[in-house]
Amino acid sequence: MAEAEAPERRGGGTEEIAFEEAGLRYEVDGEIATITLNRPGKRNAQTFATWSALAGIGENLPERVRVVVVKGEGPSFSAGIDLRMFTPEGVPGQGSFGSVARQDSDSLDRRIEQAQQGFLWLRRPEIVSIAAVQGHAIGAGFQLALACDLRIVADDVRFCMKEPALGLVPDLTGTKPLVELVGLAKAIDLCLTARVVEAQEAYRIGLAEQVVAPAELARAAHDKAAQLLSTNRDAAVATKRLLQGARLRTLEEQSAAERTEQAARLRALFAGS
Ligand code: ACO
């Protein structure tokens, strides 16, 4: 068997990203990229720098990467937005919500859109993203887990959509996957009460694919990545594209989409034979 490729500290093109300021660690090992929220002392609280670095990783993701694992160092996956954002001083070098709120509408919209870029790319058909979630996943932390295709959780997980309790809405691309995963009524319940969802409920309502002991979380994410890598790459991309579009299409449209994708697969598989 070929020797495993030594993990790279970073993927190509990401040298300019301020990982430390963002509170992130990033490694690419062959076809797997791992993003680690890495401010455990602050429960992996997120800032504008975190979201901008996440977007940078997405923009520079090496083509060979098929699986992206998102995890958090320490006892919590992420305690959500850095609460210093709510203070007049804000986060040094990044401002505060107060300063952002005073911007004109276009600038404010752009600022939020920039933050969302850190989350949107995790759904690309070319990759499967796995959130490995332990402890608290609050607000932006919950939404980061929701941005991933799959969630494997430790049995101590505590999801909480806290934004409405703070006078905000969840705006980091989390509302759509939440509704799609748990349904509208449950999503309203979770968001408008800001209550905590623990592991067994998360599994029961479809927020988590798998629940494991905290000590098994890294292994479980790795095993899932290995399973995902065992299928044909191009077929996996085409199938994810089909599945993602299924909800938006009628049965007839979806059947047509299946034919189109399969025709391309068959041509590729039997080219030259
Ligand atoms: N922003 C900044 N610092 C934080 C945050 C945060 N969101 N969460 C925790 N910290 C810091 C604490 O201030 C503390 O720092 P210190 O040691 O310098 O005093 C350190 O992380 C540890 O926090 P504890 O509260 O001691 O850790 P514990 O494990 O007991 O509790 C918990 C964890 C439940 C996550 C708690 O810290 C908490 O409730 N944090 C705030 C969660 C929150 O309201 N997030 C905003 C959600 S809304 C959104 O994301 C848009």
> For 167-202, how does the pLDDT look when each residue is reduced to its tens digit (9 = 90+)?
999 999 999 999 999 999 999 999 999 999 999 999
The pLDDT, as a whole number, for residue 47 is 96
The pLDDT assigned to 13 comes to 80
What atom of ligand 1 comes closest to residue 141's alpha carbon? 50
The predicted model gives 30-58 an average pLDDT of 97
Backbone φ, ψ for residue 52 (5° rounding): -70, -40
Side-chain half-sphere exposure of 145, counting CA atoms within 13 A: 33
Buried b (16+ CB within 10 A) or exposed e, 78-100: bbbbbebbeeeebbeebbbbeeb
The pLDDT value given to residue 14? 87
Please provide the CATH number assigned to the domain covering 8-230.
3.90.226.10
71-97 pLDDT, tens digit per residue, is 999 999 999 999 999 999 999 998 898
- Ligand 1 atom 39, closest CA: 79
Alpha carbon distance 261, 264 (integer Å): 5
Residue with tokens 């720098």: 49
Q: pLDDT value at position 8?
A: 57
Question: Are the C-beta atoms of residues 24 and 50 closer than 8 Å to each other?
Answer: yes
Ligand 1 pocket, residue 136 CB under 6 Å: yes
CB burial class (10 A; 0-12, 13-18, 19+) of residue 41?
exposed
Q: Is 81 in the pocket of ligand 1 (CB under 6 A)?
A: yes
State phi, psi for 182 to the nearest 5 degrees.
-115, -10
> Which residue, by CA, sits nearest to atom 32 of ligand 1?
79
Judge if the beta carbon of residue 158 lies within 6 A of ligand 1: no
Helix axes 140-147, 105-120, angle to 10 degrees: 50
Question: Pairing relation of β-strands 32-37 and 24-29?
Answer: antiparallel
Q: 42 C-alpha to center of ligand 1: Å?
A: 6
Is the shortest distance between the CB of 75 and ligand 1 below 6 Å? yes
The span from the CA of 191 to the CA of 45, in Å, is 20
How do the domains of the chain map onto residue ranges? 8-230, 232-273
Cβ of residue 90 lying under 6 Å from some atom of ligand 1:
no
pLDDT confidence of residue 87:
94
pTM for this prediction: 0.95
State pLDDT tens for residues 210-242: 999 999 999 999 999 999 999 999 999 999 999
In whole angstroms, give the CA distance from residue 31 to residue 225.
Answer: 9
* 167: Cβ contacts below 8 Å, ≥ 6 apart: none
Range list of H helices, 14-104: 19-22, 48-60, 97-101
CA of 221 to the centre of ligand 1 (A): 25
Percentage of the chain modeled with pLDDT above 90: 89
| Ligand 1 pocket residue status of 71, Cβ below 6 Å | no
Q: Which two tokens stand for residue 102?
A: 């005073």
Task: Judge if the beta carbon of residue 79 lies within 6 A of ligand 1.
Answer: yes
Give the chain's length. 273
pLDDT classification of 10: cutoffs 50, 70, 90 = low
Nearest-CA residue for ligand 1 atom 8 is 79
Q: Is the CB of 196 under 6 A from ligand 1?
A: no
Sign of CA dihedral 228, 232, 234, 236: negative
The ligand 1 atom nearest the CA atom of 80 = 50
Instruction: Answer yes or no: is the C-beta of 138 below 6 A from any ligand 1 atom.
Output: yes
**Interatomic CA distance for residues 157 and 134, integer angstroms:** 5
